[in-house]
Amino acid sequence: MAGKLYIVGVGPGHHDHMTFRAKQVIEESDTIVGYTTYVNLVENLIDGKDVYRYAMTQEVERAQQCIDLAKEGKTVSLVSSGDPGIYGMAGLIYETLAESGWNPKTGLQVEIVPGVSALNSCASLIGSPLMTDFAVVSMSDLLVPWEIIVKRVEAAAAGDYVIVIYNPSSKKRIHQLQDTRKLLLKYRSPSTPVAIIKGAYRETESIT
Amino acid sequence: MAGKLYIVGVGPGHHDHMTFRAKQVIEESDTIVGYTTYVNLVENLIDGKDVYRYAMTQEVERAQQCIDLAKEGKTVSLVSSGDPGIYGMAGLIYETLAESGWNPKTGLQVEIVPGVSALNSCASLIGSPLMTDFAVVSMSDLLVPWEIIVKRVEAAAAGDYVIVIYNPSSKKRIHQLQDTRKLLLKYRSPSTPVAIIKGAYRETESIT
């Protein structure tokens, strides 16, 4: 039997903000793959399934594993918080498939299930909808060189965009947000409103 | 009894991609307000409720009507396709409330229910996830002067962003997209991939 790979966005993390389609494909799947924190978000749906939990830095292994399992005939859900397209695993899956000469029409069946991303949920929570144009930029310089991130922040500031920052800092990455703050103050008043949101709609939610 | 106003994103338009919370609050509401096309998207959920359908250009009246109905004690869902924060009604509701001296703690209860926006659903459909930084800009110059839109398109192009364009054209607005194309060709190769998506996940879906 041909397998199938779903790349599923489960939304901000609270079950209420998941889509019907996301729940449906997780229930349909016999195999669940994901970063441990994301798998935990859907724990109530995966009883009795084969579950592969991965640590944060094993994205490439995770992509390969999903593809291998689906090729073996499994129905696999690769779970992701938010929307799997926005800083999620969808791109890496397509890249890995493309490298192996994948033909979307005749090869492994892949479906992306879009979800409510952090930019949607955070803006809703703070009552500050993204009503006018906005730019979305990640501070993570693991895949994008820092000079490009700086160029993008400058462009967004110059273009008078509302700016949504993903991955603002980590244990090893602190200076980036500070540098961005300095950059933005060249263009914006120090009284520009800023909201810092962690764990939107989860029990750990915090808003500053 | 105190009323409540939900500003609900129902996602791209197909029931599967609605969130559980969106369905829940629509079911809880006794009154449904929205642009006719969006109300039609949830027709199967609103039987027996008071329904107010509006034409496209009546945003201000719609906002005021929702607030009035909720203040009268109704539980009102203002339905919106996609995410109500992204080019939706959420901003206008907050503006209208703020003008009337609204206090979020003691005044009318308002909840935004985030949804899967067109940027999420379209990227999922075409297998081109928004994996790196992206800028979102609307071509509608009803509320934003065209010079600012031009400035934003230039900034996004210069900042090497993937660009998501909302409201590309209408019967009265055609030159904007053509002008944007010319602008972008100053920065990008003519072979840059472009996808044009209408009615994502709806029966009228078309992808070019």
Q: Residue A143 belongs to a domain with what CATH number?
A: 3.30.950.10
Question: Are A11 and A43 part of one and the same domain?
Answer: yes
> Is residue A199 a part of any domain in this protein?
no
H helices of chain B, in order, are: 20-28, 36-41, 59-71, 90-99, 118-125, 146-158, 175-185
Question: Are B183 and B133 part of one and the same domain?
Answer: yes
pLDDT for residue A201 is more than 80: no
Question: Are B57 and B138 part of one and the same domain?
Answer: no
Q: Quick check: A19 and B15 CB within 8 A? A: no
> Is residue B159 a part of any domain in this protein?
yes
Quick one: closest CA in A to B125, which residue?
A: A112
Contact list in A for residue B17 (CB cut-off 8 A) is 19-21, 113-114
Quick one: closest CA in A to B134, which residue?
A: A136
pLDDT at A131: 74
ipTM: 0.88
Of the given ranges (A63-77, A147-161, B46-60), which has the lowest mean pLDDT? B46-60
pLDDT for residue B199 is more than 80: no
Indicate the number of domains in chain B: 2
pLDDT at A169: 80
Q: How many CB pairs under 8 A join A and B?
A: 195
pLDDT at B1: 63
Among B18, B104, B133, whose Cβ lies nearest the Cβ of A127?
B104
Coil, helix or strand at residue A31: strand
Among A114, A130, A152, whose Cβ lies nearest the Cβ of B133?
A152
Q: Quick check: A20 and B24 CB within 8 A? A: no
> Which domain, by its residues, includes A143?
129-192
Q: Which residues pair with A51 in a beta bridge?
A: A32
pLDDT at B13: 81
> Is residue A198 a part of any domain in this protein?
no
> Is residue A89 a part of any domain in this protein?
yes
Contact list in B for residue A125 (CB cut-off 8 A) is 112
Among B21, B112, B136, whose Cβ lies nearest the Cβ of A133?
B136
pLDDT at B169: 80
| Of A95 and B205, more confident | A95
* Amino acid code (one letter) for B21: R
| Residue B197's pLDDT band (cuts 50, 70, 90) | confident
- What separation in angstroms does the CA of A6 have from each of A24, A48, A82, B115, B129? 11, 18, 15, 20, 14
Question: Are B87 and B145 part of one and the same domain?
Answer: no
Output the six-digit token pair for B187.
Answer: 């920065």
Contact predicate A58/A77, CB 8 Å: no
Question: Tokens 């364009």 label which residue?
Answer: B165
Which of B59, B90, B117 is where one domain is finished?
Answer: B117
Return mean pLDDT, chain B.
89
pLDDT at B126: 77
Contact list in B for residue A83 (CB cut-off 8 A) is 116, 120, 124
Of the given ranges (A4-18, A111-125, A168-182), which has the lowest mean pLDDT? A168-182
Q: What is the pLDDT averaged over residues A96-123?
A: 91
> Is residue B101 a part of any domain in this protein?
yes
- State pLDDT tens for residues B102-155: 998 899 999 999 999 988 888 888 776 777 789 999 998 877 899 999 999 999
Q: What is the pLDDT averaged over residues B44-58?
A: 89
> Is residue A70 a part of any domain in this protein?
yes
Q: Quick check: B133 and A135 CB within 8 A? A: yes
- Which residues have C-beta within 8 Å of that of residue B81, sequence separation ≥ 6? B9, B10, B11, B12, B13, B37, B38, B41, B88, B115, B118
Each residue of B55-72: b (16+ CB within 10 Å) or e?
Answer: eeeebeebbebbbebbee
> Is residue A167 a part of any domain in this protein?
yes
pLDDT for residue A1 is more than 70: no
Secondary structure (DSSP) of A90-150: HHHHHHHHHHTT--TTTS-EEEEE----HHHHHHHHTT----S-EEEEE--TTTS-HHHHH
Among B90, B124, B161, whose Cβ lies nearest the Cβ of A135?
B161
Q: How far apart are CA B39 and CA B78, in angstroms?
A: 9
Percent of chain A with pLDDT over 70: 99
Mutate to test the interface with A, among B16, B19, B164 (most CBs of A within 10 A): B19
- State pLDDT tens for residues A35-91: 998 899 999 999 999 999 988 777 888 899 999 999 999 999 999 999 998 988 898
Question: Are A109 and A170 part of one and the same domain?
Answer: no
- What separation in angstroms does the CA of A121 have from each of A84, B6, B72, B84? 15, 14, 28, 11
Which of B83, B117, B151 is where one domain is finished?
Answer: B117
pLDDT for residue B52 is more than 80: yes
pLDDT at B142: 78
Quick one: closest CA in A to B157, which residue?
A: A155
pLDDT for residue B61 is more than 80: yes
Question: Are A161 and A140 part of one and the same domain?
Answer: yes
Question: Are B103 and B140 part of one and the same domain?
Answer: no
